[in-house]
Homo-oligomer: A and B are copies of this chain.
Amino acid sequence: MQTLIAPAQLLKCMADDLRLRTLLLILNEKELCVCELTAALEQSQPKISRHLAQLRNCGLLQDRRQGQWVFYRLNPALPEWVLTTLNAIHDGNQTLIATDSERLQQMGDRPERAAACC
């Protein structure tokens, strides 16, 4: 589904406020599931889910199912410039996900992660 996407297309996928905040939150937390993102970003579940599908189809995110939850993380095969970009945006715009992160921390009953994978 995603093999060698043009840089501009990857940028376009990042170039949406919700998707960008999603990426930065995941950059911070390593891994988040849909319900955590729904809570942190205060958006409807279908909306979050569709944006996550877009990010996955672009090759930016990778998903892993664990029980009822689906966890999303950055695709480890990401081109280096993408990571450089995300980190630069993160460092240059601390307020962008400040309240989102806060909501995430204050969220009760966050799903447990199994060391799993690989």
A-side residues, CB < 8 A to B, are 6-9, 11-12, 14-17, 19-20, 79-81, 84-85, 88-89, 91-93, 96
Q: For residue A17, which residues in chain B have a CB less than 8 angstroms away from its CB?
A: 6, 8-9
A80 to B93, CA, bound (A): 11
Whole-angstrom distance between the Cβ of A18 and the nearest chain B Cβ? 8
A and B contact pairs by CB, cutoff 8 A, 9 listed: A6-B17, A7-B89, A8-B17, A8-B20, A79-B92, A80-B88, A81-B88, A81-B89, A85-B88
Copies in the complex: 2
Chain B's closest residue to A17 (CB) is B8
Tell me whether B7 and A11 are in contact (CB under 8 A).
Answer: no
